[in-house]
Structure 1
Amino acid sequence: MSESSQPLSRRQRLLGLARNTRDTYIPKITGSVSSLATGASRALTNSDYYDEYGRVLLPKDTNVQLFPSYTRYQDGKYFVDVQGWVFTPGVMNRKNRIVFSVIKQIMKQRDASPATLSTLENDNTMRQEVFNPNSASSDNESIVSVESASSSQGSNSSINQDDVIKDRLSSFFAKSIPNTELTITIGSEADVDELVQQTIRSDGYGHFETTVEVPYKPSVIQAASSIMDTVFAFQDIIIYPNSGVGVISDIDDTIKLTGVIGDKMVLLRNLLTNEVSSWSIPEVTTWYGDIYRNNNVNFFYVSNSPWQLYNSITKYFQYADLPPGSVHLKRYNGNIISSLLEPSSSRKRKTLYKILEDFPNKKFVCVGDSGEFDLEAYVDIARTFKNQILSINIRYVEDSFSDLDDSKIYNELIRLLTAKRKKIPVVKINDSSVSNNMEDLIDLSDDPVTPTTTTKRKPPPPVVPNKPKNLQGNQLKRKPPPPPSPRTMPHKSYTDTALQAPHAVQKIPSSSNIASDGGSINEELPPLPPRRRTSPNGFQSDSGEGDLDYIMDSPGFLDLEEMDKKGATWIKRIIAAIYALEGTNTKIVLFKDEDDDFFTNHCIQLDELVKK
């Protein structure tokens, strides 16, 4: 019998049991006791933020805010989009008092230097706070809460500027609550056996976003804390049909005056001190109202404004009576000043793609402004989701087209978008007209353009050097054979058209065009394919109508680029957009607030589309 098969003695079994207890059970028991001790210690030292098990509790004033989203019906199920934020209202502690004091001093200045604003944008003390229970004692020095300032603002008719600034900054002073567990419950319009629930966690900045799939028609969204029963919020359901027409709209400087491209001080005053009524663009808001009432289209508001400005945006929507719709803002939890002044970027791309993917059978009208990069964002989705974007409408923002004269560049862009490009547009060369009278920067007419006296002459070609003698070949002593006689040419087959012309004389091809069988090379080879032109941004043009790529090589455009970089850049952007949209049904339209024909015609076109 082998040693391994022999039974263990009692002493050996006891030693093995002791060894297993030491290696397995004791560490587990020690960890559990340590966890309980830590939890008990936390609960005793700071019972407001930890329960008896040591789990982090939410502050008593925690809020859950749900943002407007949309619900879609596909394949017999409803897909409910949920987005929101978990936070605790901020208080005027030492840090927030410093931030408020700095911003208030800036608002009192007529003109703050760019260097001052740049310094504040990079100042770490201006960063928004995230909730941390271990540093909760820092709020003991609070003097007044933002919530009380906001409530006093509503009760007092004579609101001073300080209260307005506090109210606008209230969400920036708030502390986001990260990594907290929430339960999302989707209500039903009819009685069901069980409501669908989903458990999620907020991200590092307190935001959460998810899509819940339900088999019944939903009625309401509830987001509740999994730890505290008193922390919850509700949001009504907005169901969008899969077909029809939707409007994707920017907010800043499209439907709400913000001044993104202007002076940064003007932008800050618009956001923090100006009255809500001063943000109105009545021509556009009236247009949106007419579209919504007459055509019942769906609205998607996509903006680069941070979520912290949502309350201010909601107040403006109520004042301007804008149509309801889903709202999609950017997440930002860095420097407060930087979040207000940050220029537009590619943050919209993810949201725009999701909207188009969620509604593959819906047509869209995109509305933006010339202040930032709405044109490129909309052209991108129009190329990716072909034939879903009906039109890209860009509202003119003052001083956004040119460094010299906006109206001249605006007119040139209109000509580029509407002209029938049957020939190469030629830029007129006249230095004085560029600086003083910028009319006809790009000639899109069919009349030939004669060069002026200011045309630069081409330099003479370089002199061809003599070939060295050691590289020269020997001269041929015999002449090449003469071309074949016309009598030896094979008889040409005529078409019916040629037979109807008895006086037509056959032209004998030259020796350079004769094939080995005596026939003409021109008759054997097919015609060359048309040359494919390349647009400024690398897109290839399949149509032979436009030769817009030659515009930027013309001397007139080079002169314009030196004197008006902004205007030249806009011409490049429009040309690139025209090439990018080839093969789609999307059209680009520029409009001004006083353009009544645009608003009237657009409403008529949408009405016809909806009736189809």
Structure 2
Amino acid sequence: MGLLHRTAIRAERWFDRVRPRKRPERPVLDAYRGYAQPGGVVLRGRVLASLRRTTPDPGQSRWQNMREMLSLFLTDEVAHVDVTAPGHDITVQSDEEGYITVEVPVADPKPGWYDVALEIAGDPDSRKIFRAMIPSPDARLGVVSDIDDTMMHTGAYSLARNLWTTFTGSATSRRVFPDSIVLMDHLSNHGRNPIFFVSSSPWNLHAFLERVFDRAGLAAGPMFLRDLGISETQFISGTHGDHKGSAIDRILNANPDLPFILIGDTGQHDAEVYLEACHRHGGRIPAVILREPGPGPDDASRAAMAAIRRLGVIVAHGSDFGHVAEELRKAGVTL
């Protein structure tokens, strides 16, 4: 991987010399859902040359869907741009991939979505509202869930099927599992318990996934997606397991008083990732829930599920989530 990383860096530098990017006169902000941490909120987003969005139409062809979905990946990020939070006297600078992270102190947090206006320094017309979710003080637990083949049908266990589903679907055709909608509403206790989504999907799909989830009525929560860019310090943001594991750590560290239920599927090694999370956060994970898509769990997933159970963690698994609420109730998990 080291050789491939170095080769990719050289190729990117060569391409930039041959076809240098013209810095846009007025870059724009793309806002992602943020989250709370002790003492404040964390806002996340990106500085881009322009925003790209799909325009879903139930009647449009798969070819048109593919053209629109591909366009989401053709973003031009803008590095080294100062972004300010005027009401909080905070300034940060976009990194080499255009990403920004802004930590804003909140003295008297109220549960719900906390709004902060951010703008590109010197351009008040670029102002955009960034939102962060502040959990209720009455929350009894948190939920971290995978997305692909857990919340919605993707076929991520098969690369060819995954690419076909991703690039030929639209926000009107992508299917969120009905049992996932019901389960997440149940686990969130109709909004009292916070929900977080962790996926290896790229940040380019954030607005698309928001639209799909909102249209389906899925419980809303911050997303922790993946940077597919190439930098001096990373090559496509590490592995699927590294990304998901570090996101789980950030979420649990940001909510130190809450236990967490982890939800995923057996198609992308979630059982193994969650086993390691159970080891790192002993006693804070009462249950792991796994959907079994496609061919079902392989030997590694079955071994990981058995190891999770030996740690005293409930493991609920199957081809759907219809039985999960009852299993958790019988096991004494309090929502």
Report TM bin, short chain.
0.7 to 0.9
Query: Unaligned 5+ residue runs, structure 2?
Result: 1-21
Answer yes or no: is 1:231 the counterpart of 2:121.
no
Cα distance change of structure 1 residues 88 and 166 upon mapping to structure 2, 3 Å threshold: farther
| CA distance 1:364–1:223, shift in 2 (3 Å) | same
Counterpart in the other structure of 2:11: none
Distance 2:121 2:285 in 1: 42
Deviations 1:547-584 (A, max 9, x none): xxxxxxxxxxxxxxxxxxx43x34443444455x2xxx
Does structure 2 conserve the Cα–Cα contact (< 8 Å) formed by 1:261 and 1:400?
no
| Structure 1 residue 292 displacement after superposition | 3.1
Other-structure match for 1:356: 252
- For 1:349, what is the secondary structure of its paired residue? helix
Q: CA deviation at 1:359?
A: 1.5
Structure 1 match to 2:144: 248
Residue type of the partner of 2:49? T
Asked if the contact 1:376–1:577 (Cα under 8 Å) also holds between the matched residues in 2, the reply is no
> Structure 2: how far apart are the matches of 1:285 and 1:604?
21
Q: Distance in 2 between matches of 1:214 and 1:294?
A: 25
1:174 aligned residue (62, 75, 80):
75
In structure 2, what is the Cα distance between the partners aligned to 1:295 and 1:157? 30
Distance in 2 between residues matched to 1:571 and 1:381, nearest whole Å: 16
**1:380 corresponds to 2:272:** no
Q: Which residue, 250, 262, 266 being the options, matches 1:370?
A: 266
Aligned with 2:65 (options 137, 152, 164): 164
Alignment partner, residue 277 of structure 1? 173
Question: Normalising to structure 2: TM-score of the pair?
Answer: 0.80
Give the structure 2 partner of residue 213 of structure 1. 105
Structure 1 residues 173 and 304: CA distance shift in structure 2, 3 A: same
Q: Secondary structure at 2:188's aligned position in 1?
A: helix
Note the C-alpha offset of 1:319.
2.2
Conservation of the 8 A alpha-carbon contact between 2:132 and 2:222? no
1:588 is matched with 315
Which one has a larger percent strand, Structure 1 or Structure 2? 2
Deviations 1:96-117 (A, max 9, x none): xxxxxxxxxxxxxxxxxxxxxx
Greater RCO between the two (CA within 8 Å, min separation 6)? 2
What letter is aligned with 1:609? Answer: T
The answer (yes or no) to whether the contact 1:591–1:598 under 8 Å persists in 2 is no
Secondary structure of 2:116's counterpart equals strand
Give the aligned partner of residue 24 of structure 1. Answer: none
Q: What aligned pairs does 1:95-494 form with structure 2 within 5 A after superposition?
A: 150=54, 153=55, 158-185=59-86, 195-217=87-109, 219-241=114-136, 244-262=140-158, 264-275=159-170, 276-294=172-190, 296-334=192-230, 344-401=240-297
Is the 8 Å Cα contact of residues 303 and 348 (structure 1) preserved in structure 2?
yes
**Equivalence for 1:602:** 328
Is the 1:168–1:312 Cα contact (8 Å) retained in structure 2? no
Q: CA deviation at 1:178?
A: 0.9
Report deviation, 1:325: 0.9
Q: Is the 8 A contact 1:65 1:84 kept in 2?
A: yes
CA, structure 1 residues 79+159, in 2 after alignment: closer, same or farther (shift >3 Å)? same
Query: Does the CA contact (< 8 Å) of 1:89 and 1:171 recur in 2?
Result: no
Say whether the 8 Å CA contact 1:393–1:590 is kept in structure 2. Answer: yes
Per the alignment, residue 66 of structure 1 pairs with: 31
Q: Is the 8 A contact 2:84 2:118 kept in 1?
A: yes
- Aligned CA distance change for structure 1 residues 346 and 236 (closer, same or farther; 3 Å): closer
What corresponds to 1:500 in structure 2? Answer: none
CA distance in 2, matches of 1:351, 1:330: 10
Are 2:50 and 1:89 aligned?
Answer: yes
**Aligned residues: percent identity?**
19
Give aligned pairs, total.
304
Render the CA deviation track for 1:309-362: whole Å, top value 9, x for unaligned: 11221121022211111111011125xxx97xx972311222211111121211
Secondary structure of the 1:231 match is strand
Query: After superposition, what is the alpha-carbon deviation per residue over 1:460-506, rounded to whole angstroms, capped at 9, x for unaligned?
Result: xxxxxxxxxxxxxxxxxxxxxxxxxxxxxxxxxxxxxxxxxxxxxxx
Could you give the per-residue CA deviations for residues 150-202 of structure 1, whole angstroms, max 9, x where no partner exists?
A: 4xx45x664233332232122211100011111124xxxxxxxxx42211111
Bigger Cα Rg: 1
Q: C-alpha displacement at 1:222, in angstroms? A: 1.5
CA distance in 2, matches of 1:370, 1:299: 20
**Letter of the structure 2 residue corresponding to residue 596 of structure 1:** G
Partner of 2:12: none
Matching of residues 25-44 of structure 1 within 5 Å: none
Q: Mark the runs of 5 or more structure 1 residues left unpaired by the alignment.
A: 1-48, 50-56, 91-145, 186-194, 402-565
Q: In the alignment, residue 368 of structure 1 is paired with which amino acid?
A: G
TM-score by length of 1: 0.46
1:173 and 1:161 mapped to 2: Cα distance?
A: 19
User: Are the equivalent residues in 1 in contact too, given 2:241–2:273 (CA < 8 A)?
Assistant: no
Q: Which amino acid aligns with 1:161?
A: R
Give me the whole-angstrom Cα distance separating, in 2, the residues matched to 1:575 and 1:287: 23
Q: Are the counterparts in 1 of residues 258 and 284 from structure 2 also a CA contact under 8 Å?
A: yes
CA, structure 1 residues 83+603, in 2 after alignment: closer, same or farther (shift >3 Å)? farther
Separation of aligned partners in 1, 2:150 and 2:272:
15
